């Protein structure tokens, strides 16, 4: 879906949202949080609980994704009254706990001393009925939305999803809560890494999260003054990266900052993984690109390079105000959709509005960075290398005139491309 879809299209989307189940009065709802955590989960939980309680509904929280409906432990489903959600909007993590190993369609069940992937969806639907729940508000990413849709096919009455991921790569919504906080954390780290890079004249390679999409690298890289940004959507060439680094040192900016998404790929190559997927985990674990790049850059340029992996720091901490607001807008909208319609689907921000979109629009793919977007163009205009294009005429000038005279025009024989330099 385009970022600036016209309003009419939004309303058409909302109208077409899938109608599951029949219109029924809501009295009691459940909330769960699934997949990797993201700052803002608690703000959504509080907003859903308060707006539901204010309508006279009862609210319960299911612990650790769907596990709380499967394990039968007494404290696995907890009442979410006003006391339970008091003072949590600014807290990171989730008071309900989460897991990315809890897919009820391949849940680990002990059989003959082995854990076997087993479909326990019937148990969830039965437990949902026993608890007399009318609807579920499911906070999660594409995995959680896909599970929600399949559970409804098995008999769960209604689900409204709320899109969560720091990676910001969920289809159907312009933005997910948690992303802005991750970008702020990463930008702060880049500011700090600038000073140590400068002090040691080093190249700092900063590996950030972003499995299949480079949103965190792109936004924090531009905000934090990176020289090179490498994202999964733009396969990179090592020589182009090194060309930019050499340019930095030739210009006597004796350090460089490279931001690389964990899922970035060298042209013609594959992303690097450090742990394989097993039967129960949502995904294999990416990692290693930062280290590899630092070694390669050092070997190719002779400049000392160090790698820093920001990792789960990006998922932690208090949500920034943008995420707190977005989280609460989405949480309250989820309850309004439950109250005012009989539809299921995921709440999404499109064109500044919060609408409800069918799960079908969300699952089965991701929303990557548009490589022709103005944000990418902004990076290129600033002289940031994405590891794909040559850096322009700058080196031609150096070759023709030497470093001392960088203000002269390139010789007539040099390519007339725009000078993409931009020393920070």
**CA atoms in the 13 A half-sphere facing the CB of 83:** 2
The mark string for 94-133 relative to ligand F6P (x by CB under 6 A, - otherwise) is: ------x---------------------------------
How far, in Å, CA of 200 to CA of 254, rounded? Answer: 9
Tell me the two tokens of residue 267. Answer: 């042209």
Q: Which is nearer to ligand F6P, 166 or 180 (CB)?
A: 166
Catalytic residue among 103, 167, 169, 227: 167
Q: Which is nearer to ligand F6P, 116 or 285 (CB)?
A: 285
- CB-based burial of residue 195 (10 Å sphere; 0-12 exposed, 13-18 middle, 19+ buried)? exposed
279 catalytic? Reply is no
Could you say which residues in the range 271-330 bind ligand F6P, by CB under 6 A? 285-286, 315
- Choose the stretch contacting ligand F6P; rule: CB under 6 A; options: 73-81, 144-152, 164-172, 405-413: 164-172
Q: Which is nearer to ligand F6P, 107 or 255 (CB)?
A: 107
Taking alpha carbons only, the member of 420, 205, 396 closest to residue 301 is 205
Could you say which residues in the range 352-411 bind ligand F6P, by CB under 6 A? none
Could you say which residues in the range 25-64 bind ligand F6P, by CB under 6 A? 36
What is the closest distance, in whole angstroms, from the C-beta atom of residue 182 to ligand F6P in the complex? 8
SS3 call for 350: strand
* 233 contributes a contact to ligand F6P by CB under 6 A: no
How far, in Å, CA of 89 to CA of 85, rounded? Answer: 8
Q: Which is nearer to ligand F6P, 100 or 385 (CB)?
A: 100
* 186 contributes a contact to ligand F6P by CB under 6 A: no
* 165 contributes a contact to ligand F6P by CB under 6 A: yes
Could you say which residues in the range 209-228 bind ligand F6P, by CB under 6 A? 209-211
CA angle 202, 180, 333 (to 5 degrees): 170
DSSP structural state of residue 284: P
SS3 call for 59: strand
How far, in Å, CA of 232 to CA of 230, rounded? Answer: 7
> Considering only residues 166, 226, 294, 310, which one is a binding residue for ligand F6P as defined by CB under 6 A?
166
In order, the DSSP letters of 388-424 are SS---SHHHHHHHH-TT-TTSPPPTTS----------
Binding residues with ligand F6P: total (CB under 6 A): 12
> What Å distances lie between residue 289 and 109, 167, 209, CA to CA?
35, 17, 11
Q: Which is nearer to ligand F6P, 141 or 410 (CB)?
A: 141
Catalytic annotation, residues: 167
Contacts with ligand F6P by CB under 6 A lie at 36, 100, 165-167, 209-211, 262, 285-286, 315
């Amino acid at each position: 879906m385009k970022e600036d879809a016209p309003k009419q299209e939004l309303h058409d989307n909302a109208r077409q949202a899938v109608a599951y189940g029949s219109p029924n009065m809501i009295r009691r709802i459940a909330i769960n949080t699934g997949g990797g955590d993201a700052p803002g989960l608690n703000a959504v939980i509080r907003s859903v609980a308060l707006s539901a309680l204010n309508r006279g509904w009862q609210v319960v929280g299911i612990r650790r994704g769907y596990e709380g409906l499967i394990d039968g432990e007494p404290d696995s489903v907890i009442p979410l009254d006003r006391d339970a959600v008091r003072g949590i909007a600014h807290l990171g993590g989730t008071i309900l706990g989460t897991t990315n190993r809890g897919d009820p369609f391949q849940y680990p069940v002990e059989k003959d001393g082995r854990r076997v992937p087993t479909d326990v969806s019937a148990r969830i639907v039965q437990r949902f009925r026993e608890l007399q729940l009318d609807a579920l508000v499911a906070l999660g990413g594409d995995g959680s939305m896909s599970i929600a849709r399949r559970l409804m096919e098995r008999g769960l009455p209604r689900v409204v999803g709320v899109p969560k991921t720091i990676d910001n790569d969920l289809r159907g919504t312009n933005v997910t809560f948690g992303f802005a906080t991750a970008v702020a954390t990463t930008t702060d780290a880049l500011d700090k890494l600038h000073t140590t890079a400068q002090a040691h004249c080093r190249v700092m390679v900063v590996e950030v999260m972003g499995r299949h999409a480079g949103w965190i690298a792109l936004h924090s890289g531009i905000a934090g003054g990176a020289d090179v940004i490498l994202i999964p959507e733009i396969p990179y060439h090592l020589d182009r990266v090194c060309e930019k680094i050499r340019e930095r040192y030739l210009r006597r900016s004796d350090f460089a900052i490279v931001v690389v998404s964990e899922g970035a790929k060298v042209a013609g190559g594959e992303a690097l993984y450090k742990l394989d997927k097993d039967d129960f985990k949502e995904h294999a674990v990416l990692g290693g690109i930062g280290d590899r790049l630092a070694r390669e850059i050092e070997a190719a340029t002779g400049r000392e390079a160090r790698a820093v992996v920001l990792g789960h720091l990006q998922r932690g901490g208090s949500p920034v105000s943008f995420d707190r607001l977005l989280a609460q807008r989405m949480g309250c909208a989820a309850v309004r959709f439950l109250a005012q319609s009989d539809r299921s689907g995921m709440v999404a921000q499109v064109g500044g509005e919060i609408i409800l979109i069918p799960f079908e629009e969300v699952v089965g793919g991701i929303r990557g960075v548009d490589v022709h977007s103005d944000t990418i163009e902004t990076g290129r205009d600033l002289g940031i290398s994405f590891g794909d294009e040559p850096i322009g005429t700058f080196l031609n000038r150096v070759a023709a005139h030497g470093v001392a005279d960088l203000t002269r025009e390139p010789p007539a024989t040099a390519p007339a491309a725009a000078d993409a330099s931009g020393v920070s």
